[in-house]
Structure 1
Amino acid sequence: MIVLGIDIGGSATKGALVDTDTGKLVSERIRHKSDKSKKPKEIVKDIHKIAKELNYSGIIGAGFPGIVKNGVIDTSANLHKDWVGANLAKMIEEETGNKAFILNDADAAGMAEFRFGTEEARKAKVVMFLTIGTGIGSALFVEGKLLQNTELGHMLLGKYEVEEYASAAVKTREKLTWKQWAVRFNEALKAYEFLFSPDIFILGGGVSARFEKFSKYLTVKTKVIPAKLENLAGIIGAAVAAQEKLT
């Protein structure tokens, strides 16, 4: 089935058509810039523009960087404060005329990686998937089941939240070298390792494509691998989730 997948992020809203049977994109990926000043209605209009640009009409899956409950946004750390309490599923349906399913963006990416990524992850009992971008998202799988909305990027590490200390945005903003950033990120992995005892960490988001630049500085006992789907996982997972929930 071909479904429009949307990945709403702190710096951009991205979308593409996905074959949910294969996990492959079957269109170009379209990107509309975003930031914390952009209100919900503006981003929903961007989603409609993406659908129009792809000449698409049908169900829509969207990943959002925060806690999502029944299509309603519960937290919004890296986007406009007006998102809190917004019924994004209803807003998309009213704007586009198409039904929509909304889930946490890291959960979406983790679902895609778990289904279409490395076989090693599917064999593990506890898998922690982390997206590293404007913030840090998390998806935790226990014996193949997703624990929704974990949002472990907001866990405190000393006096900072993990994503305030070791996200890709922090690396750019503070002009950290790969080694300097990796030492910080390794502290987060150690904390997650102690609390959850995962069998494997999978790293997604933009930095996953640069894994060779920092992997040698990661010293946790747990195996760490880059996401096979890299930065496309969020789009793919959102489309798959919509297909599962709305058809």
Structure 2
Amino acid sequence: MTSHDASGVRFGIDFGGTGIKGAVVDLERGDFAADRIKIATPQESTPDAVVEIFREILDAHPEVTGPVGVTVPGIVRRGVVGLAPNIHPSWQGVDADALLEDRLQRQVHVVNDADAAGYAEAARGAAQGRTGVVLVTTLGTGIGSALLHDGVLVPNVELGHLEIGGRVAERWASAKVKKTEDISYEEWAERLTVYYRHVVRLFSPDLVVVGGGVSKNHDKFLHLIDVDVEMVPAHLENRAGIVGAALLAGN
């Protein structure tokens, strides 16, 4: 097993509705320092069940001590989980910071999953060094979003839930919808154009970063989105949640 300088690495865990992923993150490079571990999210994703998976993931790297960053697919206010429809309802209202610190016996910082991804892209990815307003979106099961100003995160900006033309945006323009409805990249880009034009009108960002796993195929659709703002693909793709969680832990 590889040993790591504890000052240079930190553990990040990305808790999603279908999978729980964790990795050791090199804080300087802003990327994985060891292979990612992935375990399926239990069907009953209660705090008790999920904590045991967190412990299993952390036990795979006992040499890495110190704070742990954890993402949750829902609203997080000062460590307390709010609306989180893709995980067990018993998480709602839980002080996850306090619960996980007690159960894992180490410092834990819990953050919204899209916020973690956005912070990672701003700190070590496609938006590194950029000032002004930066919007980071993740196209996946839904549409995640993170808003930053001069690198400072504005938490819990849920822009995938915007209603546009009587439709919830992520139920019409997410990567999951593209796959489920089997629409072409061209048709999907038309929907994304409607979505991004609406968001740009509301927030006037200087830069939009498009992330999520589908960003690895950005050459098939990003240039087709007709919006009057600079748009770039994410650098960290779907590694961003883990990296962002690790970077934010201990801050």
TM over 0.5: yes
Matched, 1:183 2:190: yes
Pick closer, same or farther for the CA change 1:160–1:242 going to 2, 3 Å.
Answer: same
Runs of at least 5 residues in structure 1 that lack an aligned partner in the other structure: none
Higher share in helix: 1
Q: Work out the percentage of aligned pairs sharing the same amino acid.
A: 38
Pick closer, same or farther for the CA change 1:164–1:233 going to 2, 3 Å.
Answer: same
C-alpha distance in structure 1 between counterparts of 2:220 and 2:16, whole Å = 24
Residue identity matched to 1:206: G
Secondary structure class of the residue paired with 1:10:
coil
Instruction: For residue 37 of structure 1, report the CA deviation from its aligned partner.
Output: 4.5
Q: TM-score, normalised by structure 1?
A: 0.92
Q: 1:165 aligns with which of 172, 193, 199?
A: 172
Matched, 1:105 2:113: yes
The answer for the alignment partner of 1:142 in structure 2 is: 149
The answer for the alignment partner of 2:161 in structure 1 is: 154
Q: Is the CA contact (8 Å cut-off) linking 2:123 and 2:151 kept in structure 1?
A: no
Q: TM-score, normalised by structure 2?
A: 0.90
The answer for the alignment partner of 1:208 in structure 2 is: 215
Secondary structure class of the residue paired with 1:103:
strand
Instruction: For residue 170 of structure 1, report the CA deviation from its aligned partner.
Output: 1.6
Pick closer, same or farther for the CA change 1:35–1:136 going to 2, 3 Å.
Answer: farther
The answer for the alignment partner of 2:5 in structure 1 is: none
Instruction: For residue 98 of structure 1, report the CA deviation from its aligned partner.
Output: 1.4
Matched, 1:131 2:150: no
C-alpha distance in structure 1 between counterparts of 2:212 and 2:88, whole Å = 21
Matched, 1:81 2:89: yes
Matched, 1:92 2:92: no
Q: Is the CA contact (8 Å cut-off) linking 1:7 and 1:14 kept in structure 2?
A: yes
Runs of at least 5 residues in structure 2 that lack an aligned partner in the other structure: 1-7
Instruction: For residue 191 of structure 1, report the CA deviation from its aligned partner.
Output: 0.6
Runs of 4+ in 1 over 6 A off after TM superposition: none
Deviations 1:35-62, CA, capped at 9 Å, x for gaps = 7742232222211111012234432101
Secondary structure class of the residue paired with 1:54:
coil
Farther-moved stretch of structure 1 (190-199 vs 33-42): 33-42
Matched, 1:42 2:74: no
Farther-moved stretch of structure 1 (213-222 vs 39-48): 39-48
C-alpha distance in structure 2 between counterparts of 1:108 and 1:139, whole Å = 8
How many residue pairs were aligned? 243
C-alpha distance in structure 2 between counterparts of 1:63 and 1:186, whole Å = 28
Residue identity matched to 2:230: K
